[in-house]
Amino acid sequence: MPRGPRGPIEKPKDRKKVLLRLWTYIYAHKWMALGAVLLTVASNLLALLGPMLSGAAIDAIGIEPGQADFPTVFFYCGLMIVFYAVSSLLSYILSILMIQLSQKIVFQMRQQVFDRLTQLPVRYFDGHQTGDIVSRISYDIDTVNASLSNDLLQIAASVITVVGSFIMMVAISPVLVLVFVITIPMSILFTRYMTKKVRPLFHQRSVKLGEMNGFVEEVITGQKTTKAYHQEETMVSRFDERNKAAVDAYYNADYYGGMTGPSVNFINNLSLAFVSIFGAILFLWGNLSIGNLSSFVLYSRRFSGPINEVANIISELQSACAAAERVFRLIDEEPEPADAPGAVAIQQVEGQVAMDHVKFGYNPGKTIIHDLSFTAPPGSLTAIVGPTGAGKTTLINLLMRFYDPQSGAITLDGRDIQQITRKSLRLSYAMVLQDTWLFTGTIFENLAYGKKGATLEEVQKAAKAARIHRYIMSLPKGYDTILDENGMNISQGQKQLLTIARAMLLDAKMLILDEATSNVDTRTEIQIQAAMRELMKGKTCFVIAHRLSTIQNADRILVVRDGDIVEQGTHSALMA
């Protein structure tokens, strides 16, 4: 089914809400988070003692030649080495702990995303590019992971360092601290201005990357068609457009995000120049020792440095928030509606299917099926034919409740399918689609996919009925042969036969074939039809086909045009 058009780019949500939601993930591992906080505090407090000890050592040296108190100097220098060594060790342990914490959070987040994907209705996948969805579960979550393991740690350390350094500077010289009354507000105001400017740019970056990934996924999937029609240059030019849009989005986000750090660094360097000038004046007046001035300069660097670091990582935080928004938006998508109150799990299926004045459209403004009614008795073979876009596949979507009609009723054994649980309804059908799907695993695992506990004998019986057993046995490892992703090491027709055998193996009372024999030759198709007719005796079958050979044995043929049944009857009656 064609994908729906992408909507307009949404404005980013409130960053505070995103951060609060990320906090819920951290709180789930609160003891690890508490340990990280304690390690952060201890490591940074020990590091903050260094400048004070350095100033004491400098004062012990004195300003007169030959009057240095070396025992005192060595004592303070020794303490500095011990404190810095312990601080480094705690920082190392903290890094390991944060890596473990971030991985636990990312594991939980990926699990929630994948769980949500399995709960979403088919409508969501019809309207979103596969590459964009993959981008959210890989790139966006990796971006959040990097921010959790690095950026949050840096910010926590910066807060402690800034507060600790400020306290120590006030203790040394309250007068010199007045220098920062000018420079710090300048840094904060500039950072806030850049934050508002940069945040939408990082959201745009994530969106454009998702669009490019979606296009690449489509091109790779359809590369044979591209080569067959010699459209390589066309696809390259289209990719270039999306690639340029992604690069421009990256450039704008990184350019304006990268401006913040150097600009704030310049403001902080101004504060260091002012501290040096006024500190020298206080020293000359005798209000400040050379050791205290040295300590103050070191603390001023520690005080302004983290502010600069926060400005540098603010762009990464913006990227993480934009990525988290996209992930949370997927997690918050409405799942497939719950079963109706009182819905029952159907047990004994007879297989009588009926549509009664069904009306349906994928979009509210466009009706595809206008007023459709038919009945398929138990054990019958109903063929559905008609031109492309007539609504054949839509009928199957409605039978399986991938979509629900706007009006009318669909019944199974006289019961409205909306009063039947989706799980039991879908388990009542076996389905084979034109687009084959095989996963990486053995042939046995692929054939037994839908039937838990299937034996080798049962699998072989289904494979023989599908005329694929002989080919499987010709392979070196037989049913233990590993299929590549999407079964790329076997032909398209052989893949189709495997999916047909997989459907034959199910204990389903009804079967849906959507152009299932379009990839096999006419002779094989006749053999499959004969084998399936025998195997599915007593079961209700629906077949969508274009070729007459597929539908000659049908009990009833429904000719669909523009969403309505214009003719119905047996093959011979319709031909007459």
User: Per residue in 138-194, pLDDT tens?
Assistant: 888 888 887 877 777 777 788 888 888 888 888 888 888 887 777 777 877 787 777
Q: What pLDDT was estimated at residue 518?
A: 64
Q: Is the pTM of this model over 0.75?
A: no
Question: Helix, strand, coil shares of the chain as percentages rounded to 5?
Answer: 65, 10, 25
Strand (E) or helix (H) holding 226: helix 223-228
Q: Name residue 383's beta-bridge partners.
A: 543, 557
Rounded CA gap, 223 and 225, in Å? 5
Rounded CA gap, 527 and 542, in Å? 18
Rounded CA gap, 488 and 493, in Å? 12
Residue partners of 22: CB distance under 8 A and separation at least 6: 144, 148, 324
Rounded CA gap, 363 and 360, in Å? 9
Q: What is the mean pLDDT of residues 292-304?
A: 80
Rounded CA gap, 218 and 221, in Å? 5
pLDDT band at residue 86 using 50, 70 and 90 as cut-offs: very high
What tokens appear for 214 in the block? 């979606």
Q: What pLDDT was estimated at residue 548?
A: 59
Q: Name residue 557's beta-bridge partners.
A: 383, 569
Taking each helix axis as running N to C, give the angle between helix 456-465 and helix 522-535, from 0 to 180 degrees, rounded to the nearest 10: 130
Rounded CA gap, 19 and 128, in Å? 26
The radius of gyration of the chain's CA atoms, rounded to the nearest angstrom, is 35
- Residue labelled with tokens 């523009």: 562
Rounded CA gap, 557 and 563, in Å? 15
pLDDT band at residue 288 using 50, 70 and 90 as cut-offs: confident
Task: Compare 389 and 383 and report the one with higher pLDDT.
Answer: 383
Task: Compare 202 and 456 and report the one with higher pLDDT.
Answer: 456
Task: Compare 545 and 111 and report the one with higher pLDDT.
Answer: 111
- Residue labelled with tokens 């020990």: 46
Task: Compare 440 and 39 and report the one with higher pLDDT.
Answer: 39
Rounded CA gap, 6 and 542, in Å? 33
- Residue labelled with tokens 């000890």: 53
pLDDT band at residue 89 using 50, 70 and 90 as cut-offs: very high
pLDDT band at residue 258 using 50, 70 and 90 as cut-offs: confident
Alpha helix stretches (DSSP H) within 12-151 = 15-27, 30-61, 70-119, 122-126, 130-135, 141-146
Rounded CA gap, 144 and 503, in Å? 41
What's the pLDDT tens digit per position in 425-458?
888 888 877 777 788 888 898 888 878 888 888 8
- CA angle 527/532/538 to nearest 5° reads 150
pLDDT band at residue 9 using 50, 70 and 90 as cut-offs: very low
Rounded CA gap, 369 and 565, in Å? 10
Task: Compare 31 and 570 and report the one with higher pLDDT.
Answer: 31
